[in-house]
Structure 1
């Protein structure tokens, strides 16, 4: 087993957009003292970004189907210098979850599946509810849940009902991990909207926070109470809360809104099935559970935590091994050779995609062809051939696949399981005339 560091962030952005000068590195746990990546002490292996109340008007939804929403784009740009690739974004109205993985881990990504639960207006609307992404990394299953539960102080029973509906209403297709809590690791975060019980006024809560009495106030925290009573979320754990309430602030300043009772609405919970495997004990160690108070563009404050989990050591066996890709000629058809492990189940809908070498999202492919026989007529471009004696296969990309000189890479995607089975070396593409001139 080896360590794998997960960084999680939850933020209710209150339909606001990030400012052009906003620096996202502090809330991503990145050192801002230098622009050099060499000064960063420990870069996570994976980022989980869970947003709520991302602006969801029709024109925004149409735009976001074609491009990343402004928040996701900002995070992606901040992580790009550290070789992170966005592997998935799931959106249900204002709920947006994005996962970013270090490039070196991409070929160990398996079995991605998504589900969602609508809880707004009696389950008819997705302004409240949860979105979930499950996946397997280095042989361990993870489930990430981003929720936005029923608001208001007096709606505790509805929040408990939200939890039960999400937990029991989401059923994944993988039998061993059909339930959220059946996964090896679970990270459940979001705007839980749990408030403080009792009759404490807004001013009294603010005074308590100012006088360092957060621990006393937390005794009335509804989420802590329902976890203790077993009514909801009792299967999950939470790191000690050492930060002030994250809701509700006046936008742009550090003052709490006097019309609302401050509360710890924004939380990150976790769960591990430690004995999921024989002779192996899984574990999770959480650290740095905190709110980022200087980030003032919403009436909430972002909350983050780091989790070190244990995963299986990477195997040296390559499921799909690309033969070294030589120089690619721009504007011409080019053939790619690769080998597939004999025991690997492939599908006629598996595909091989071309990416720019510095790609930051698996959605940003330049071109693709289907990778497995039988698929199309041998006379058509994008055809596949197989050398039965060597186990080597080849695909041909058309002359229009790459139109610009530069550095590129290939990846093999399994259609059915949404897994990545292989990645090629970085190769150069150039027009034949320029390539010939370079050899002189």
Structure 2
């Protein structure tokens, strides 16, 4: 797989608390490309019920496993090596290796590489953005060096999956969520030690201790790393909720022409993320490929698995403005990269949504790019002093208490998660009933054995 550029595919999807439908994802994942990429990053939001996400660990394994199954089926289909009907996609040899899994509550990130050995020096980080900094909303990240042995090229990559605050009127809270990601999502080695090749990061938060503050710890911005941020960022196309008639007179439909005031391109002019980003209030320094597709949220119903050109009507939810909540942004190559390779730039190939799946009111969105396999050099002092690049001068400083805050929030997550699981799921209620039955049975056995 000799190369000078990394073929990277980044997907973001809000699962609406449901396990992914494997046939839906596998049949559409690679429709936008004609070959299997070298590296696939998947950002997931609301990937499970709340209690499962807050507890983490083995409760999330089935949700991640379905994603892995869909990815492998899709890769085999595109490569012409589709599994025989009825056979498992888990048989060897696999096209992709799932090299990293990480979550903060219901927000997850997965990394799949065709060459597992290329993933080196894996680091991870997480921050809760929900109530009391818990993980009902949050950001989770992976950082590693991709080193291609055949070409000798390598580059450092940082990926952040995020789910920010909801509602049209809460755009300032979303800006604050971004600030907390910059301040509190701190990367540390996945295995707790410096260096080393990739090892699959833990699922949930029960299998490894929280990592403490460190002088060498760094946030999402790093002078020598590319950065990609993908997720349900929740920025809307209005600062207020729709009026009672807006869904009939203002919401876009497939038959609207560009000249029509209802065409979605006119709605995008009110996109909060673009407004806030260009004003320097959020997602500092990041770029986004041109959006030429319709809003990705919020759908009441289908048609499902249908391309836009074949869709006769979009069934928008009347109480939410159609919006581009699901986005993938990235940092362009820094200015000081030019002294090493003037042509080393990120090349966007595709930026578009997948069709609507029946299991969610969001559409998944993908970004396909070529990333130069050239390491970003450390900037010189004069470049450091003069640069406005957030890699050098981030908009906010790292919170010195980031680890303590996360440890406190983690304890609260477990209390809320376990309580919700025991009272709100069939399995949990069975545990309670079984425990009560055992206690009552034990009481009567005690009376029978020792009573008068």
TM-score normalised by structure 2 residue count: 0.61
Instruction: Choose 19-28 or 148-157, whichever is displaced more.
Output: 19-28
Which of 127, 131, 134 does residue 136 from structure 2 map onto?
Answer: 127
More helix by share: 2
Which of 305, 308, 314 does residue 370 from structure 2 map onto?
Answer: 308
Q: Is the 8 A contact 1:4 1:311 kept in 2?
A: yes
**Distance change >3 Å, CA 217–CA 25, structure 1 → 2:** same
SS across alignment from 1:5: strand
Q: Please show how residues 208-223 of structure 1 align to structure 2 within 5 Å.
A: 210-212=255-257, 213-223=263-273
SS across alignment from 1:69: helix
Q: Is the 8 A contact 1:184 1:272 kept in 2?
A: no
> After superposition, what is the alpha-carbon deviation per residue over 1:323-347, rounded to whole angstroms, capped at 9, x for unaligned?
xxxxxxxxxxxxxxxxxxxxxxxxx
State the 1:189 CA deviation.
0.6
> After superposition, what is the alpha-carbon deviation per residue over 1:350-387, rounded to whole angstroms, capped at 9, x for unaligned?
xxxxxxxxxxxxxxxxxxxxxxxxxxxxxxxxxxxxxx
Q: Is the 8 A contact 1:117 1:169 kept in 2?
A: yes
Q: Please show how residues 33-48 of structure 1 align to structure 2 within 5 Å.
A: 41-48=34-41
Q: Distance in 2 between matches of 1:20 and 1:4?
A: 27
> After superposition, what is the alpha-carbon deviation per residue over 1:229-286, rounded to whole angstroms, capped at 9, x for unaligned?
1100131000111111111101444411112221110011011333455423431011
Which of 9, 15, 18 does residue 16 from structure 1 map onto?
Answer: 18
Instruction: Choose 149-158 or 167-176, whichever is displaced more.
Output: 167-176
Which of 114, 122, 125 does residue 102 from structure 1 map onto?
Answer: 114
State the 1:16 CA deviation.
1.9
SS across alignment from 2:276: helix
**Distance change >3 Å, CA 111–CA 184, structure 1 → 2:** same
State the 1:75 CA deviation.
2.9
* Alignment-derived partner of residue 251 in structure 2: 206
State the 1:179 CA deviation.
2.9
**Distance change >3 Å, CA 311–CA 299, structure 1 → 2:** same
Q: Distance in 2 between matches of 1:129 and 1:294?
A: 24
Instruction: Choose 228-237 or 179-188, whichever is displaced more.
Output: 179-188
* Alignment-derived partner of residue 238 in structure 1: 288
Point out where structure 1 has 5 or more consecutive residues left out of the alignment: 32-40, 314-440
**Distance change >3 Å, CA 256–CA 135, structure 1 → 2:** same
Which of 97, 111, 122 does residue 112 from structure 1 map onto?
Answer: 122
Q: Distance in 2 between matches of 1:173 and 1:89?
A: 15
State the 1:62 CA deviation.
5.1
More strand by share: 1
**Distance change >3 Å, CA 227–CA 119, structure 1 → 2:** same
Q: Is the 8 A contact 1:238 1:268 kept in 2?
A: yes
Which of 166, 179, 182 does residue 181 from structure 2 map onto?
Answer: 166
Q: Please show how residues 10-89 of structure 1 align to structure 2 within 5 Å.
A: 10-19=12-21, 21-22=23-24, 24-29=26-31, 41-58=34-51, 61=56, 63-64=58-59, 69-78=64-73, 81=76, 83-89=95-101
* Alignment-derived partner of residue 266 in structure 1: 326
State the 1:42 CA deviation.
2.7
Q: Please show how residues 274-285 of structure 1 align to structure 2 within 5 Å.
A: 274-275=334-335, 277=337, 278-281=339-342, 282-285=344-347
Q: Distance in 2 between matches of 1:208 and 1:76?
A: 31
1:156 aligns with 2:171: yes
Q: Distance in 2 between matches of 1:42 and 1:207?
A: 33
SS across alignment from 1:223: helix
Q: Is the 8 A contact 1:17 1:70 kept in 2?
A: no
SS across alignment from 2:282: coil
State the 1:23 CA deviation.
5.1
Q: Distance in 1 between matches of 2:367 and 2:52?
A: 33
SS across alignment from 2:135: strand
* Alignment-derived partner of residue 146 in structure 2: 137
Q: How many positions carry a matched residue from both structures?
A: 301
SS across alignment from 1:144: strand
**Distance change >3 Å, CA 59–CA 43, structure 1 → 2:** closer
SS across alignment from 1:145: strand
Work out which structure has the larger RCO, using CA pairs closer than 8 Å and 6 or more positions apart in sequence: 2
Q: Distance in 2 between matches of 1:198 and 1:210?
A: 26
SS across alignment from 2:159: strand
Q: Distance in 2 between matches of 1:20 and 1:164?
A: 35
Q: Distance in 2 between matches of 1:62 and 1:169?
A: 22
State the 1:210 CA deviation.
4.6
Q: What RMSD in Å do the two structures reach over aligned CA positions?
A: 2.7
> After superposition, what is the alpha-carbon deviation per residue over 1:405-424, rounded to whole angstroms, capped at 9, x for unaligned?
xxxxxxxxxxxxxxxxxxxx
